[in-house]
Amino acid sequence: MADAIGAVSLVGHRPSIVRITVKNELKTQKSQSIVRFPVKVDYSAKGVLSHLMMQSVKKNRMSVFPIRALAMELTKEKKKDDRLPKTWNYLDSGADDKPSLWPPENKADKPSLHNPLLRQERMGCGWLGAIFEWEGVLIEDNPDLDNQSWLTLAQEEGKSPPPAFMLRRVEGMKNEQAISEVLCWSRDPVQVRRMAKRKEEIFKALHGGVYRLRDGSQEFVNVLMNNKIPMALVSTRPRETLENAVGSIGIRKFFSVIVASEDVYRGKPDPEMFIYAAQLLDFIPERCIVFGNSNQTIEAAHDGRMKCVAVASKHPIYELGAAELVVRRLDELSIIDLKKLADTDLTEFEPELEMEKEDERELPSSAVAVDDF
């Protein structure tokens, strides 16, 4: 068999084209051929010849086993590089252009804060905000006064008195929202505002302007203030009424944010009030805890991605089971309880438990009973 001497030369300045000249000593005729290879290729003579031999062997193998070759082509996948980049930072692991790896993205982190101590405090479970409802949570509430106000307003306007189930539905709503959407007394904005204002006047006359704190509310608010936990007050009452009530009791200094009916468009069960209060506190919703006393509050808090602590003031405990915690008085809670609620990372990313596999061993057949199989 004749010996072959190979010579490799590059054609022009294009690295992807290789000219191979094969000289056969038995024949004087020279044969030249141009072969195209990928960009990343071994340009030595030995590498080119080995590549040609591998291509011929692969072609022969595919011709012998066509089904196997087709299956290999269909199942061929591009190997992904899962290695971490050199500039990978666990704080940016939740971004779209970063690999989704543990630990997950901490939504409480704020990269714009250049103080590392402040960022560490925000990422810890101790960084939380408290949002309180007014009636039935901090002060004593008489729900019959609201019902009497609606019945009196219906009598003055010549409307049919609303039934009890409709009065339960308007609990926690703004007056304008209840008049136009639930009671359907009017859709004229002027008339709706007039009736809403009149309803508040009737309520103030029936209430008498006397407010009394619930047992344990003052002590719990003092504990939160000593631990530097910011607090917000939320109510569907007008701001003037709310400011006078808070000032008369002497707890205005505890609340850095007050959200009244003029600040939002809709009341409960819409979470607008609580989300707006969280924005004013400069807290993310996942780190806010809402304190309420009704299922409408629990629904609104969960819709706003917040935790809820229910106070059993006008509803029994078994009706408030959807809340994370249910208490009779606020002083039953501790700072540790609130920190556990604010620790969102452990609850959101807890791994699922695998189901135990049943023992598939064959049981010995009984001599008394008849086997089914």
Please state, in angstroms and as integers, the Cα–Cα distance from residue 171 to each residue in 145, 239, 272, following that order: 12, 18, 16
Following CA atoms 169, 171, 172, 177 in sequence, which dihedral angle do they give, to the nearest 10 degrees?
60
Peptide bond into 99 cis (omega under 30): no
Q: How much is the pLDDT for 47? A: 65
CB 193 within 8 A of CB 187: no
Q: How far is CA 331 from CA 219, 292, 327, in A?
A: 6, 14, 9
Lookup: tokens for 37: 């290879």
Phi then psi dihedrals of residue 10, to 5 deg:
-80, 140
Q: What is the pLDDT of residues 245-267, one digit of tens each?
A: 898 888 888 999 999 999 999 88
- Report which DSSP code applies to 106: -
Q: What percent of the chain has pLDDT over 90?
A: 40
| pLDDT tens profile 232-242 | 999 999 999 89
Determine the pLDDT at residue 196. 93
- Asked whether 294 and 314 are in contact (CB, 8 A), the reply is yes
Determine the residue type at 373: F
Identify the weakest region by mean pLDDT among 82-96, 175-189, 210-224, 328-342: 82-96
CA nearest to 323, candidates 344, 295, 283: 295
pLDDT band at 163; cut points 50, 70, 90: very high
Average pLDDT value for the chain: 76
pLDDT beyond 90 at 106: no
The 3-class secondary structure across 342-371, one letter per residue, is HCHHHHHCCCCCCCCCCCCCCCCCCCCCCC
> How far is CA 296 from each of CA 38, 231, 310, 348, rounded to the nearest angstrom?
66, 21, 11, 24
Instruction: Give the C-alpha separation, 241 to 206, whole Å.
Output: 14
